[in-house]
Amino acid sequence: MSIFPVELAKITTPETLDSSGPHQPDKGLEEPLSDITIASIIDSTTPHTDNHGPENTIDGDNFSYWNPHGAEEFFITFELSERYTVLGVNLLNHGDYYHDVTKFKLEASNNLDSWYFGGSVDDVEAGTHEWQSFDGFTASGKYLRITFTETYAGFQPWLSELSFSGNTAPPLVDVVILEAVDSSGPHGYGGGPEKTIDGNEESHWNPDIPDGYNYNNWYIEFLLSERYTVFGINLMNYGDGIHDVTKFKLESSDNQITWHMVGSVGDVLAATRKWQSFGGFIGAGKYLKITITETASDVAGSDLSIATGTSASPSSMKQADAQ
């Protein structure tokens, strides 16, 4: 039985969660509904002109604005009152065209060190001083970072107001993995899939597969202690820069027959023997299946050396079944 840490130390963007097209349902003078309470602003692009700091974006005054300058990237980092899942962003441009935001992206974190992508927008309207609202985001965390990647004329943003909508996020807990119940094989020097959950960072899994069998389709199926909704996975490569995982996908199941896609990652770092963590997954089940779709060497029959853990919350379906 293995229990792994929830802390997400190096989160990157899952390929499947690129929210490139959130739609714009509302625009108007009246402030849109916001479900999320911002506790404070803890970081932003500096410097800014006097009386035009980032706090102006959440002061409730539609005519004050944030005016940073002297930077190539413009961002604000917010601490929320509690952990939320952010589904929508509400934005009020200054309305002068030249300094109006036209594109932005949203990231979330639980610890300020690990950030994962929650969505982006590329069709904010310039030349209007009316609220615009965008949805289609999936960003869960205690902290939010919004980065403004384009303004109408390329100048620094003059942003009047921001707010966010969403739901309180469930607390993260550690997923308890009972055992590895199936995997690619046979196994060569190093050992079987149980090495990925033995708590020993010096051991490793090595599927020694002849003639390229399951080439770039190496997998392990894990039985969990109960049904979970999984939000993140932690992975440690062997670190030799040859046999290291660079891409993988995650699936969930309740019966090991029908599998549902949870998410995929395409930018795992090779040649490092440190924990890497990836967030933004949403998938429920009693079983998890991780499939390695690429290694650094991309050679059939290579040693595959990983250690895995997950972060999740108890599944709502499990809770409903227990009633």
Residue ending a domain, among 124, 143, 168, is 168
* Cα pseudo-dihedral 197, 269, 276, 16, rounded to 10: -100
CATH number at residue 60: 2.60.120.260
Q: Report which DSSP code applies to 211.
A: G
Tally Cβ neighbours within 10 Å of residue 100: 26
- 160 & 188 share domain: no
- 58 & 118 share domain: yes
- 133 & 209 share domain: no
* pLDDT number for residue 169: 80
For the stretch 108-120, what's the b/e string if a residue is b when 16 or more beta carbons lie within 10 angstroms of its beta carbon? Answer: bbbeeebbbbbbb
Burial class (CB in 10 A: 0-12, 13-18, 19+), 17: buried
Within-domain flag for 246: yes
Instruction: Decide: 292 and 247 in contact? Cβ < 8 Å.
Output: yes
- 163 & 182 share domain: no
CB within 8 A of 303, min separation 6: which ones?
188, 189, 190, 204, 206, 208, 238, 242, 243
* pLDDT number for residue 33: 55
Within-domain flag for 10: no
Pairwise CA distance, residues 62 & 67, whole Å: 14
Is the backbone peptide bond immediately before 186 cis, with ω within 30 degrees of 0?
Answer: yes
CB within 8 A of 54, min separation 6: which ones?
41, 44, 48, 66, 68, 76
Instruction: Decide: 158 and 97 in contact? Cβ < 8 Å.
Output: no
Q: Please, which residues bridge with residue 168 across strands?
A: 84
* pLDDT number for residue 174: 81
* pLDDT number for residue 134: 96
- 156 & 178 share domain: no
- 102 & 198 share domain: no
Within-domain flag for 296: yes
Within-domain flag for 43: yes
* pLDDT number for residue 260: 94
Within-domain flag for 217: yes
Task: Concatenate the DSSP letters of all residues of 229-249 into one string.
Answer: EEEEEEEEE--SSSS-EEEEE
Residue ending a domain, among 168, 187, 207, is 168
- 46 & 85 share domain: yes
Tally Cβ neighbours within 10 Å of residue 62: 15
Within-domain flag for 6: no
- 262 & 158 share domain: no
- 178 & 300 share domain: yes
Q: Residue 68's domain spans which residues?
A: 17-168
Task: Concatenate the DSSP letters of all residues of 9-43 into one string.
Answer: SS---BGGG--------EEESSPPP----EEEEEE
Within-domain flag for 99: yes
**Quick one: which of 167, 141, 134 has its CA closest to 80?**
141
Instruction: Decide: 289 and 220 in contact? Cβ < 8 Å.
Output: yes
Within-domain flag for 9: no
- 315 & 210 share domain: yes
- 98 & 220 share domain: no
* pLDDT tens track, the chain, 323 positions: 443 333 332 222 333 333 333 444 345 445 565 689 999 999 999 999 899 999 999 999 999 999 999 888 899 999 999 999 899 999 999 999 999 999 999 999 888 887 888 899 999 999 999 999 999 888 888 999 999 999 999 999 999 999 999 988 877 778 889 999 999 878 877 788 999 888 888 888 888 766 556 678 889 999 999 998 887 888 889 898 988 999 999 999 999 999 999 888 888 999 998 888 787 777 889 999 999 999 888 653 334 444 444 455 554 333 333 22
Q: CA of 94: how far to CAs of 62, 121, 252, in Å?
A: 9, 18, 45
Residue ending a domain, among 128, 150, 168, is 168
Domain count, the chain: 2
* pLDDT number for residue 22: 44
- Positive/negative CA dihedral, 187, 190, 191, 193: negative
* pLDDT number for residue 111: 86
- 133 & 186 share domain: no
Pairwise CA distance, residues 95 & 31, whole Å: 16
* pLDDT number for residue 298: 66
